[in-house]
Structure 1
């Protein structure tokens, strides 16, 4: 096998690191980050589905807000995945497919209000997941992950606020 072919056939693996975090702690944090990454990906897809399908008097603000959100979420996924790699673990890809049918569907809830309500639920679920993971990262003294998750938490809390303001009577 040529060097180029060997390089292309390489697969990510767990890497032994000596960065001050225990191996078990790095693994736990990487698993939590994987869950956050997968849920973020689903929320990104849901945001795009709403962006493409929203209609009605609030079309313009919802269309623009969801575009801002999915752009931010795309960048966040990359940052989260890179943190998992920096912890020495591969980014799981199989988990990402689970639940995508729900993310890509807006169910029978076709009104703009119903779509916004689903996005609110997605962002609220992410805030709960991120809050738990950030707390765990802080306890394990993984300050880099804690800071990253704090930033993600701020984004999702603001997204909930903005979406709820749109959905208000």
Structure 2
């Protein structure tokens, strides 16, 4: 059943199209962060193992919340790896080595890429598509990614 929440169906469809891409990006980043957690090596293994765990747990909550936002708008969320890989603008590949600095640099690039993508859509959701709720939600998500990126960046100083 379509949501009757005061937003034109065409606008909801446009919002959901963007949110499905966001969901795919979040899931790919979650997977890459989990890989870093599993495979990090080096003298800082234990600390970075725990750090990556905190990051992927936060991303797991984000994945769930984005999917629920899509459902709130009356659409179904994609949920297969094939769908995510077709929708994401990230690469699932980690090119560096298994040391913490390589993982941190690559994950930081992905967070920053997501930040740019989110920032590009916030005003459009509110003004063009008349969906202040998703605009507000995306603003909160942006702030979460800014903090996660800062935490990653702090390891590189």
- Please state which band the TM-score falls in when normalised by the shorter chain: 0.7 to 0.9
**Runs of 4+ off more than 6 Å:** none
Distance 2:133 2:16 in 1: 12
1:156 aligned to 2:142?
no
Q: Who wins on radius of gyration, i.e. which is larger?
A: 1
1:107 aligned to 2:100?
no
Root-mean-square deviation over aligned CA pairs? 1.9
2:118 alignment partner, one of 110, 117, 130: 130
Unaligned runs of at least 5 residues, structure 2: none
- What is aligned with 1:12? none
- What is aligned with 1:37? 23
Q: In the TM superposition, what is the alpha-carbon distance from 1:31 to its structure 2 partner?
A: 0.6
Secondary structure at the aligned position of 1:113 is classed as helix
Unaligned runs of at least 5 residues, structure 1: 1-14
- What is aligned with 2:9? 23
Q: In the TM superposition, what is the alpha-carbon distance from 1:108 to its structure 2 partner?
A: 4.5
- What is aligned with 1:6? none
Q: In the TM superposition, what is the alpha-carbon distance from 1:107 to its structure 2 partner?
A: 2.8
| Count of residues in correspondence between the two structures | 152
The answer to whether the 8 A contact 1:127-1:153 is kept is yes
- What is aligned with 1:166? 155
TM superposition score normalised by structure 2: 0.87
